[in-house]
Amino acid sequence: MEILAICGSPRRNKTTHSVLQAVLDGCGRPHEIIWPAFMKIGHCISCQKCKYVTPGKCWQDDDMESALAKMLAARALIVAVPTYFGNVPGPVKNFIDRSVPTCFTGSGDEYQEAEGHGTRPLTGRPAVSLCISGGADHEKTSANVRLVLDYYGYNTIHEFYEGMGGVVITKDDFPEIYEELFAIGKKLDEALQ
């Protein structure tokens, strides 16, 4: 798999998913979409076992183990999320919090911004951020996603954030928006060459 796509919406085949699909169409590379809203993801309790007891692995037996393996294996990441009160939906926040074990796998360079924050095995991999809202605060959501991508060292090659809730983007119904998103996918494809 070349691209891991995280679709943060709890609604399949709606706006966020259609935006993501247009980007994937443009990229044209093997990918997998995971949906945190439909995964079993426990809350991070900050026990730090993934750092000290079982480096790189969380003690919780849920869907995050396979999701993190996919994250580490993928050559690129796309994060597509709707906006809930100026931020990502709760299941996506759980996913973000539970992705911390990637920093304690021992792979990658040491994190330079703060001592004790592990390594960054995802550094330099291209990422795309797609943040949608029903009309407001998508900029705040985008800033929150950017913070996470920067923390993990991804090379964010494009951020798309727009208020367009309630529409499904297709080539026929919204050709200009579809083409803009398709071009973002092409840009990601070029970054992977």
> Which pLDDT belongs to residue 63?
97
- Alpha helices for the chain (secondary structure H): 15-27, 49-52, 64-73, 90-98, 138-151, 175-191
Does residue 78 have a pLDDT over 90? yes
Domain containing residue 131: 3-191
pLDDT tens for residues 158-175?
Answer: 999 999 988 999 999 999
> Which pLDDT belongs to residue 113?
87
Long-range contacts of 142-148 (CB under 8 A, 24+ apart): 144/87, 144/88, 145/79, 145/81, 145/88, 148/79, 148/96
Entry field: residues in the chain: 193
- Alpha helices for 74-137 (secondary structure H): 90-98
Helix or strand or coil: residue 61? coil
Instruction: Considering only residues 1 and 160, tell me which one the structure prediction assigns the higher pLDDT.
Output: 160
Average pLDDT over residues 78-100: 96
CATH number at residue 132: 3.40.50.360
Identity of the amino acid at 182: F
> Which pLDDT belongs to residue 135?
83
Strand 76-82 to 126-133 pairing: parallel
> Which pLDDT belongs to residue 182?
98
pTM above 0.85, yes or no: yes
Q: Smallest Cα–Cα separation from 1: which of 131, 151, 147, 125? A: 125
pLDDT tens for residues 5-61?
Answer: 999 999 999 999 999 999 999 999 999 999 999 999 999 999 999 999 999 999 999
> Which pLDDT belongs to residue 165?
80
Domain count, the chain: 1
> Which pLDDT belongs to residue 36?
98
Q: What are phi and psi of 132, to 5 degrees?
A: -115, 150
